[in-house]
Amino acid sequence: MELKKLINFSEKFISILIILVTCILFSISIYTLLSSIVLADAITNDLLFQLTNQFLQNALLFIIGLEIALTLIKHSFVNVIELLIFAMVRKILLASESSLDVVLVVLSIIALILVRNYIKKETMESLLRES
């Protein structure tokens, strides 16, 4: 029993650590992006595209970090599926190289959403049967 409590405590500690580090790194990246806008001589479309791309990368990594922490805390298949969905969204937005990649990622996201909804539906039905 003590080992289970220790493992539970360490998972929560690691989750809090992940959240703190993720928030700090995201804040630093936002500061860096804002300072590069302020220090830029001229704001061009290329610069705006690069900064927007960098912001999306950082924001999606922030979300993925929070989802990892949530997965450590809750131990749920739904959280794992949502983590995979966010990772795939990051892939499709930032690193898609061909139209085949986009199609495969979109189909994978649709499949994961269907699985997530099925798991949620089964969980709700089992809760209703128990009560």
Average pLDDT over residues 3-26: 87
CA distance 12 to 4: 12
Tens digit of each residue's pLDDT (9 = 90 or more) over 51-87: 888 888 888 888 888 888 888 888 788 888 988 988 8
* pTM, two decimal places: 0.69
Could you give the percent of the chain with pLDDT greater than 90?
8
Domain boundaries defined on the chain:
1-75, 76-131
Q: Which of 4-8, 40-44, 99-103 has the lowest mean pLDDT?
A: 40-44
Mean pLDDT (the chain, rounded)? 84
Average pLDDT over residues 99-122: 89
Measured CA to CA, the distance from residue 61 to residue 128 in angstroms comes to: 36
Counting DSSP H helices and E strands in the chain, the numbers are: 4, 0
User: How many Cα atoms occupy the beta-carbon half-sphere of 34 within 13 Å?
Assistant: 6
Question: Tokens 């690691």 label which residue?
Answer: 14
Chain center to CA of 57: 11
Contact predicate 57/26, CB 8 Å: no
Judge contact between 112 and 85, C-beta under 8 A. yes
Contacts of 40 (CB under 8 A, 6+ apart): 47
pLDDT of 96 higher than 80:
no
pLDDT at 15: 85
pLDDT at position 109? 92
